[in-house]
Amino acid sequence: MQILGPDPSLFAARVAGALCGALVSLAYMMPRGAREATARAVVGIASGLVFGGPAGVALSQRMGVTELLTPDETVLMGSAAASLAAWWVLGVLTRIADRAGRGPGS
């Protein structure tokens, strides 16, 4: 009988990529407080888990390295990229809301 569940190694690659993307993002744009850090971490990790596969496939095709990467590497790369992108987008939106007077710092 066939098991109808996600491959554990691909799931581990998704989790690792999402966490790494969120951690690398800390080096570039530090959150201003615990609330912002928590929100951005949750969104980054969730985005990495959800969009890791499609983002990895799109990136590997765009870079022309599809044949050189294993499925685990593709998912890891995509999860990290999706997490990093989500972290940055949410951080930028928070800064815009602060400047417009609608954020927590106003």
Q: What percentage of the chain exceeds 70 in pLDDT?
A: 89
Q: What is the pLDDT of residue 1?
A: 47
Does residue 100 register a pLDDT over 80? Answer: yes
Instruction: Tell me the mean pLDDT in the region 69-94.
Output: 87
d(CA 76, CA 70): 10
**pTM greater than 0.75:** yes
The answer to whether residues 21 and 83 touch, using CB atoms and an 8 Å cutoff, is: yes
Average per-residue pLDDT in the chain? 83
The residue to which tokens 């989500």 are assigned: 86
d(CA 89, CA 26): 13
